[in-house]
Chain A
Amino acid sequence: MKLSREARRIARQLFASSMVQGRLDQSRSLMIADTIIAMRPRHAFEIIKEFTRLTRLYLNMHQAVIESALPLDSTIQAEIAASLQRHDDQVNISILVNPSLLGGTRIRLGSNVWDGSVAAKLQSLKNN
């Protein structure tokens, strides 16, 4: 379904108002969503859809996932977290153990990926 220009504009304004000091305020976002649902303005469904999309995009952009074939010790975790903080000061980090990597670590921040796993090296070998 194509969004109307008005709904898109309102959703962007609401999303901007859910930010506090450059960060997304979760409680404010939930309040805005509840208000839209309660008041049911014109194009309410489109507005909430676009608002949700923007929020999800923001969260994904600042979401970091560290995957490792073996559990990482706290020193390396802190080192990686510090590096990620330098890239994005609002980063939200998740750490997973993924044996399918065979060895090494894969780090994803938003749409950027740093893949030093053995599985990735083998895949690269296959592709070449």
Chain B
Amino acid sequence: MKVLTDLFESFGVDWPKFIAQTILFLIVYLILRRFAFASVISILEERRRRIEESQLNAEKIKQQLIEAELRYEEIIRKANHNAKKMIDEAHTAAEAFLTKETQHAIKDAENIIARAKEVTLLERQHMIDEVKNEMLDLVLQTTSKVVGKMITPEDQQRLTQETTAALAA
């Protein structure tokens, strides 16, 4: 105890003043706590809360960003898939259309060729018939002239008798 008393004395501690200052300090502290610290603490608390909210929001935004990126990738992947599917379908439809049109064209061409052959055959037959008729007419004209001159009254009578017999039958 003696040592402590000596120590305080060597440092020049005056106990009544020390106690008075301590009381003053406590009073000041209480006043500050009552009127100043509370608002400062509340401001700091509010700031801390905002920082925490900001951090939470940042985390949330980051999470949303990741989800958005995932959705974006999924959408892009689906779009690519759909586009590929549409292109494949278009290719298939184009090939089917091309095949169908080609078949139509071949069929039309075959029809045209067949019709042309038919027309050619008909024209050929028509020409042959015309030539035959012309020749027949020529032969008949010549025959008529010859026969008309060669018919005798006996021939005429015989032919008339034939007709009369047919009439009487």
Contact = CB atoms under 8 A, between A and B. Distances in A.
Interface string B125-154: 000000000001100100110011001010
Interface stretch (A38-46, A52-60, A98-106): A98-106
Contacts, number: 68
Given A116-B162, A118-B147, A104 B156 contact: yes
Interface string A88-107: 00000000000100111111
A31 interface: no
Contacts of A76: 157, 160-161, 164
A72 interface: yes
A20 interface: no
Contacts of B143: 122
Given A68-B160, A76-B160, A104-B162, A118 B151 contact: yes
A18 interface: no
A24 B161 CA distance: 32
Contacts of A11: none
Nearest to B146: A102
B167 A84 contact: yes
A122 B143 CA distance: 9
A69 B151 contact: yes
Given A122-B143, A125-B140, A103 B155 contact: yes
A104 B155 CA distance: 8
A80 B136 contact: no
B151 A102 contact: yes
A126 B136 contact: yes
Nearest to B148: A102
A105 B143 CA distance: 18
B168 interface: yes
Nearest to A87: B167
A19 interface: no
B159 A79 contact: no
Residue of B153, B155, B160 with most chain A CB atoms under a 10 A cut-off: B160
Residue of A70, A80, A106 with most chain B CB atoms under a 10 A cut-off: A70
Contacts of A117: 159
B166 interface: yes
Contact of A80 (B140, B147, B164): B164
B120 interface: no
Interface string A72-87: 1000100110011011
Nearest to A99: B148
Given A79-B164, A103-B155, A114-B166, 18 more contacts: A69-B156, A70-B151, A70-B153, A70-B156, A83-B167, A83-B168, A84-B167, A99-B148, A102-B151, A103-B147, A103-B148, A103-B151, A104-B156, A116-B160, A119-B144, A122-B140, A126-B137, A126-B140
